[in-house]
Structure 1
């Protein structure tokens, strides 16, 4: 993995770990990566470096509180944690790097966070790219999470997860629980990105593998079809024979598609 330029970001109650590739930022719009429910900066591996080199945009990635090398957590996620990301960790990261305008790239739940931030910051977010993102809580999503939770009953699986979260089994258990307990909760069953999508005022690209075990193609179709007030601004691409992690499974295709999308909207 190319580590990029590493730094720490102060925010109320936590210190975040972040990295920058392809700097300096001056006068250039960065792409900020938002990780998935088990993710961390390290799990992006060499993708940020390759994305920066291929698109010419600086790339920033950070660990949310409780993940990776950021401050550990023991509290439960609030039900509005996806929408709240814009005004908590993400706001602190943009402030730290002095970023006014940004392109957001979110994987899985990070995609929902990217859409939500763009809806709340229509003048700051110039485009959104989602990858394997969920737009609502689908039976397939819940079943995939149930299956994943069962697989982590294997101590070796939990130990592998802990490697990316401070080599701390307790923190790995928190990461796993924050994902499974939240998404399988009855209180979260009616969550949807629809209200945020209705407010979106920037171009959106939704990437989704046809073999994604955590969501059907209903998700990218829903994201690309809204908002109706901006026809042609939303698009989706299905990646054949691809699962939940396209940036790892089909890196070259993801890079090409992202660059084409940015060129199409005058952002390259």
Structure 2
């Protein structure tokens, strides 16, 4: 496999410093792929997927810890109901500015998929394509039920320590930010319809048909409402984290999308 160079970066924002990493293959394509993590995620929890993606695609891959997650600074308060769309003008915008990123491709997992769509819509003149994996397009009963089940699991002895390995003393905040927002009455009517209507670049939606946090109604809604061209690929038997469960399938889908849809 071709060598990949890994670099660590720090991004300054008014609320605190963000941690980021870049994986750059030899003879890299000039347009980077920016990864946006899920509700409990961070750079470290992508594991070796960024390196695999850089090797397979030939594009530099950038991942960053949103404020309050991973190695980034603690969040000074609580996430508000509009936090999904707000990321486009906050941490993501700071990353673009401070790393002097021009054209980009954005790849988001789970709630990060919704953020990726918002980022692509907000920065439409620079976004060449958006990839979502297990993205939620609205608040579905299946999503809420999955989160309630996860809340019970994290209440068991030792479970919070799993998050502390990656988020340190921010782990409790990370967990509550996920559960309390998605289960709140203020968030019950949230959806991605407006960013989808503003999306002009190509979209690839990846989704497992056994995803415990969202049915195939989500990629279907993305395909129906996105203003630009859309490809949907469904992983049979796939759960919520295809890039960990079936990385080869994800890489093949992404590389094919980049080859045929991204100029």
Measured against the shorter chain, the TM-score band is over 0.9
1:131-169 residue CA offsets vs partner (Å, 9 max, x unmatched): 000000000000000000110001311001110003x2x
1:77-136 residue CA offsets vs partner (Å, 9 max, x unmatched): 011111110111001111121101110000000000010111112111110000000000
Structure 1 stretches of 4+ moved >2 Å: 23-27
How far apart, in 1, do the equivalents of 2:64 and 2:27 lie?
A: 16
Q: Larger deviation: 144-153 or 22-31?
A: 22-31
1:162-193 residue CA offsets vs partner (Å, 9 max, x unmatched): 10003x2xx11100000000000001000000
Partner of residue 224, structure 1 = 223
How far apart, in 2, do the equivalents of 1:162 and 1:73 lie?
A: 16
Q: 1:244 aligns with which of 225, 240, 248?
A: 240
- Displacement after TM superposition at 1:16 (Å): 0.4
Given the superposition, is the C-alpha separation of residues 248 and 3 from structure 1 closer, same or farther in structure 2, using an over 3 Å criterion? Answer: farther
- Displacement after TM superposition at 1:23 (Å): 5.7
SS in 1 for 2:71: coil
How far apart, in 2, do the equivalents of 1:131 and 1:27 lie?
A: 22
Partner of residue 165, structure 1 = 167
Native 8 Å contact 1:6 1:17 kept in 2:
yes
SS in 1 for 2:158: helix
Q: Which runs of 5+ in 1 are unaligned?
A: none
Computed over aligned residues only, the root mean square deviation of the Cα atoms, in angstroms, reads 1.6
- Report the TM-score, using the length of structure 2 for normalisation: 0.95
- Displacement after TM superposition at 1:74 (Å): 4.9
How far apart, in 2, do the equivalents of 1:68 and 1:114 lie?
A: 19
Q: Which runs of 5+ in 2 are unaligned?
A: none
Given the superposition, is the C-alpha separation of residues 25 and 87 from structure 1 closer, same or farther in structure 2, using an over 3 Å criterion? Answer: farther
Partner of residue 195, structure 2 = 196
How many equivalent pairs are there?
260
Native 8 Å contact 2:29 2:60 kept in 1:
no
What pairs with 1:73-152 in structure 2 (closer than 5 Å)? 73-152=75-154
How far apart, in 2, do the equivalents of 1:193 and 1:28 lie?
A: 29
Q: 1:7 aligns with which of 3, 9, 22?
A: 9
1:222-248 residue CA offsets vs partner (Å, 9 max, x unmatched): 112223x54xx1111110111100100
